[in-house]
Each structure stands twice: as structure tokens, then as C-alpha cells.
């Protein structure tokens, strides 16, 4: 009889956002007259910018002519895009990253989930708590996380680094246990808070000292407005030899439905004489046939002068929503965090309510959907996440509804 990968049986029944989606659709079916406003999953609502649409149309036309048609693309990404990324996202910021250190993919989620495959089964994983669930779940699937303690909500072999209001959401490098893989997300999902240059340097120095790799998720980089928050980990000296960076076109250019991202692995990142870059190139070449030409051409428009100006406006639109949420909730007596350099607002649930109780209360009373903090890890209990990716009108309405509720 065949056997399944039993690690999958250890996972929670469904992925956090699928579980929320199911709950909301049950509620909506039972209450068809209610207008539910979804500020749960961080999915964009604004249409693709005109410069991107134009680039896509051109690429579609190319695909329709024999002389410009393209079949399989290069598995690591087209040179034109890799060069543009290396220059505009890195070299122009003073980071020493070459185009052949960029791996274009179908999105940061898959890369963050898949990257663990190239590391030893025995690797110790450290995550911030709360954390984007993909980092932990993908290591559970790989059998690296030990047993789940239902009561504490933790995996026995994972090193959790609490990030709460008490430590200003800044994780501390573990002292007693020594991680091999450290996941950091900056600006942070879910808390919407950031590490500044000095705080990130602590991590780069630590990783180099203990021989760990930092898996750095920079998906929300476009939302940074403070000058002391780094746009890339490679702004920190020494990061080339200890860090892998993931980036996405989902949140800066609205590609959540289009799909495109990239991973940066500097050639200096080595385990003894083995190049991590080489391993990922081998994996990518074996398991991935390259992102679509049309989408990679669309991404080129993200870096054009026109595209940049249009996307700046789009980011400003979402950050205005963030301000509406922050200011509105603060004036309603809530304690709020994040939402300044990130499109997520992290709020303390009122009167000690649990995250899921607050979720149900908000859904039933205000018909507003958010994400319960405990879904991101035990230190997320008592917190709640709202996204700024809704439309302006829905955001204003949702906050008015929340403010209008009598606090539980």
C-alpha cells in the first residue's frame, strides 16, 4: 500500500487564509443581505497600472506573430528583466547584486515555501512570532519542525522569537539555541512594523557569527517611507555571505493575480565549498520552466519612468487607507501598530478578547473581515490584523462601522 508524506497530517486542517475564506462564505450565505467588507487577506483591489497593461498588450501581440513568438523562456528569467532588477532595485541603492544572482519566479510565496528544500533536513528554523504561516507550514511539510504542542500552539523544534508591543516588535537573536535558518520579513507581515538599519545589522552580524542563513522576505519594500528602514538586506555590510532575499511584484504592482516574484542569492553565500546559488539554480532548472514572457515584459514596465510614477500613486492610495484605519481606530480607543511603512495595521483586541472571538464579533456586528493574530502564532494572540489593500470607500465604511460598535 502506498504511504503518504505523514508530515502533511501534522498540519492544521487548512491554510490560515483558506480557513478564514470558508468562515466568511458560510456567514455570507447565511446572511445574503449583509455587505461584508474584506480586510483580511492582503490582496490588492486597484487595477493594473496603464503602463503595465500597455506592456502586456505589446507582449501578447508579439506572441501572436511567428517572428516574435516565444516558447519556453530561460528558467532563471529573461536577461532583460534580471538586469533591470539588479540595476534598479539593488545597484542604484548601492547594493552589490549582479543580474545572474536574480532568480525570477512566479511569486515570493512559492519561493519562501520552496527555499527550505535546499537546506539540510536537520536545520533548526527560527521564526518571528507572529509569522507569515508559509515559513512554518513549509518546514512542517518537510518534517523539520518536530511535534506540535496544541496548548502552546508551537512546534517543538522551531525557535520562536516573540514580537509584541512589549519589545516594540523587534525580535531578539536566540542565545541558548542556535538556528540555521532565520526567517525575517521586513516590513513585517503581519505586524506592519519594521526593523531599521541598525536593528537589521544586529541580525546580519549574528547570522555570520553563528553560521546561519537569513531568509529575508522583502515583499512589502515598496511601502517603506522612513529613511532609516532598509529597502534590501544587502544594504547591510556582510549580508551577501549570509542572506537570501525574496521579492514580489504582488504588492508593489498589483500582480497578486498575475504572479511574478524573484529571489536573490549572492554567490558569496556558501556552505563550505558548496554554493547555495548553484543549488537553487539546479532546483529552479529542474522544477520550474520559467515565468511567462508576457508577465516578465509587464514587469519591465514597473521600472519604467511612467510605470514608477503610476505605481507610486497606487502605493500612496493604499497607504492613505492605512492612515484611515490607524487614525480611525485610534480615535475609537484602539491601540494600533504598523501601517506607516507597511500596508498592515496590527491592533490590540479590546478588553482582553481572544483574536478569534474578536474576528467573530467583528464579522457578526460590523460585517468586517480581518485576520486573527493568533493565526500567525502564539504571540499574535490578543492582536488582530487589518489590511490597507481594500478600496478607499470600503475602508472608510469598515472603520466607521467598527467605530460605531459598542465595545464588547
Q: Give the shortest CB-286-to-ligand MLT separation in angstroms.
A: 24
**Among the listed residues 250, 245, 223, the one whose alpha carbon sits nearest the alpha carbon of residue 341:** 223
For residue 158, cis peptide bond before it (omega within 30 degrees of 0) = no
Return the biggest CA–CA distance within the chain: 66
Q: Give the shortest CB-23-to-ligand MLT separation in angstroms.
A: 15
Contact 103, 284 (CB under 8 A): yes
Alpha-carbon distance of 156 to 177, in angstroms, equals 12
Q: Is 176 exposed, middle or buried (0-12, 13-18, 19+ CB in 10 A)?
A: exposed
Nearer to ligand MLT, 44 or 224 (CB): 44
Alpha-carbon distance of 230 to 172, in angstroms, equals 18
Q: Give the shortest CB-109-to-ligand MLT separation in angstroms.
A: 4
> Which residue's C-alpha cell is 541598525?
198
Nearer to ligand MLT, 42 or 218 (CB): 42
Nearer to ligand MLT, 261 or 382 (CB): 261
Nearer to ligand MLT, 43 or 397 (CB): 43
Nearer to ligand MLT, 163 or 212 (CB): 163
Q: Give the shortest CB-132-to-ligand MLT separation in angstroms.
A: 6
Q: Closest residue (Cβ) to ligand MLT?
A: 42
Q: Give the shortest CB-111-to-ligand MLT separation in angstroms.
A: 11
Nearer to ligand MLT, 132 or 160 (CB): 132
Alpha-carbon distance of 289 to 206, in angstroms, equals 36
Number of alpha carbons in the 13 Å side-chain half-sphere of residue 315? 21
Q: Which positions touch ligand MLT (CB under 6 A)?
A: 41-43, 109, 132, 189
Q: What are the DSSP calls for 109-158, one per residue? A: HHHHHHGGGGS-TT--EEEEES--HHHHHHHHHTT-S--EETTTTEETTP
Q: Give the shortest CB-390-to-ligand MLT separation in angstroms.
A: 12
Alpha-carbon distance of 288 to 113, in angstroms, equals 14
Q: Give the shortest CB-107-to-ligand MLT separation in angstroms.
A: 8
Nearer to ligand MLT, 36 or 41 (CB): 41
Amino acid at each position: 500500500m502506498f504511504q503518504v508524506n505523514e508530515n502533511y497530517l501534522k498540519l492544521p486542517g487548512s491554510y490560515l487564509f483558506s480557513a478564514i475564506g470558508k468562515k466568511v462564505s458560510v456567514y455570507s450565505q447565511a446572511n445574503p443581505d449583509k455587505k461584508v467588507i474584506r480586510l483580511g487577506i492582503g490582496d490588492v483591489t486597484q487595477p493594473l497600472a496603464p503602463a503595465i497593461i500597455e506592456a502586456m498588450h505589446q507582449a501578447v501581440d508579439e506572441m501572436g506573430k511567428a517572428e516574435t513568438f516565444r516558447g519556453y523562456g530561460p528558467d532563471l528569467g529573461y536577461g532583460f528583466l534580471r538586469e533591470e532588477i539588479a540595476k534598479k532595485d539593488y545597484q542604484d541603492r548601492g547594493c552589490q547584486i549582479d543580474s545572474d544572482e536574480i532568480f525570477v519566479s512566479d511569486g515570493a510565496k512559492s519561493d519562501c515555501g520552496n527555499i527550505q528544500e535546499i537546506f539540510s533536513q536537520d536545520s533548526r528554523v527560527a521564526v518571528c512570532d507572529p509569522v507569515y504561516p508559509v515559513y512554518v507550514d513549509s518546514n512542517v511539510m518537510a518534517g523539520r519542525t518536530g511535534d506540535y504542542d496544541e496548548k502552546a500552539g508551537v512546534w517543538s523544534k522551531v525557535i520562536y522569537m516573540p514580537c509584541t508591543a512589549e519589545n516594540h516588535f523587534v525580535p531578539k537573536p536566540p542565545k541558548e539555541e542556535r538556528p540555521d535558518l532565520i526567517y525575517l520579513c521586513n516590513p513585517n507581515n503581519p505586524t506592519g512594523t519594521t526593523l531599521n538599519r541598525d536593528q537589521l545589522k544586529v541580525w546580519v552580524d549574528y547570522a555570520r557569527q553563528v553560521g546561519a542563513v537569513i531568509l529575508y522576505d522583502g515583499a512589502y519594500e515598496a511601502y517603506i517611507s522612513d529613511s532609516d528602514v532598509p529597502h534590501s538586506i544587502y544594504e547591510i555590510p556582510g549580508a551577501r555571505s549570509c542572506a537570501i532575499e525574496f521579492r514580489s511584484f504582488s504588492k508593489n504592482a498589483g500582480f497578486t493575480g498575475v504572479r511574478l516574484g524573484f529571489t536573490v542569492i549572492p554567490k558569496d553565500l556558501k556552505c563550505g565549498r558548496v554554493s547555495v546559488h548553484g543549488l537553487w539554480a539546479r532546483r529552479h532548472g529542474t522544477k520550474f520552466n520559467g515565468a511567462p514572457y508576457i508577465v516578465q515584459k509587464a514587469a519591465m514596465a514597473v521600472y519604467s519612468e511612467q510605470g514608477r510614477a503610476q505605481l507610486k500613486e497606487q502605493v500612496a492610495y493604499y497607504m492613505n487607507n492605512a492612515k484611515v484605519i490607524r487614525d480611525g481606530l485610534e480615535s475609537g480607543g484602539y491601540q494600533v501598530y504598523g501601517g506607516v511603512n507597511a500596508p498592515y495595521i496590527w491592533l490590540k483586541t479590546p478588553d482582553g478578547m481572544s483574536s478569534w472571538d474578536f474576528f467573530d464579533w467583528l464579522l457578526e456586528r460590523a460585517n468586517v473581515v480581518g485576520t486573527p493574530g493568533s493565526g500567525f502564532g502564539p504571540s499574535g494572540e490578543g492582536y488582530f490584523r487589518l489590511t490597507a489593500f481594500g478600496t478607499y470607500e470600503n475602508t472608510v465604511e469598515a472603520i466607521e462601522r467598527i467605530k460605531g460598535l459598542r465595545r464588547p
